[in-house]
Amino acid sequence: MAMAQTPVELLKLKLQSDNQVVRDIRFYGTDIDPNTSAVDEQFTLTIDGQNVPINPELARRLEGLRRSFSYDSLSGGIQVGQPGSPMCLMAGPARGMILETRYLTYENYKITNSGMKPVLTVAQNCLFTSKISPQNATAREEARAALEILFTLSHSLPQGS
């Protein structure tokens, strides 16, 4: 189950304004297992459905970061906090980012299940109250690094292109 025939979605970053996705960044690879690597592994990036070139070293960095938050034994599980009531007087929509990864279930060192799962949210203003993060501190930092890389890459294509 580790090797995919065609590119499979590995990471997704959604930039939201209220409940509307205003930017959709997706990272694909040909191997879903972050613990393996192949010389012929291919990575692609899309922003709002358009293919965007990605530096191979940066793609491998994203894949390396994904390892620590894509399954329970390294992420410590994903905690979903209760939304707090916003304590601000900001007008306008709630804005935030949601990082999803292909989250894997292992049994006897083999992948038995995989699916996209939210692993980290980052508020861009005080109205965005979704709170999701890996429980392990290292996994949290690496998920944040992957989010920041994808967010930066999202600026390589003008919004609405």
Q: By the 8 A CB rule, do 131 and 119 touch? A: no
Rounded mean pLDDT, 46-75: 92
- Buried-state track 71-95, b at ≥16 Cβ within 10 A, e below 16: bbebbbebeeeeeeeeeeeeeeebb
- Percent of the chain, pLDDT > 70? 89
The structure's pTM equals 0.88
3-state SS, residue 116: strand
Quick one: pLDDT at residue 102?
94
Which pLDDT tens digit goes with each residue over 9-31?
A: 999 999 999 989 999 999 999 98
Rounded mean pLDDT, 60-76: 91
Quick one: pLDDT at residue 85?
61
Neighbours of 115 (CB within 10 A): 10
**100 token code pair:** 């999803």
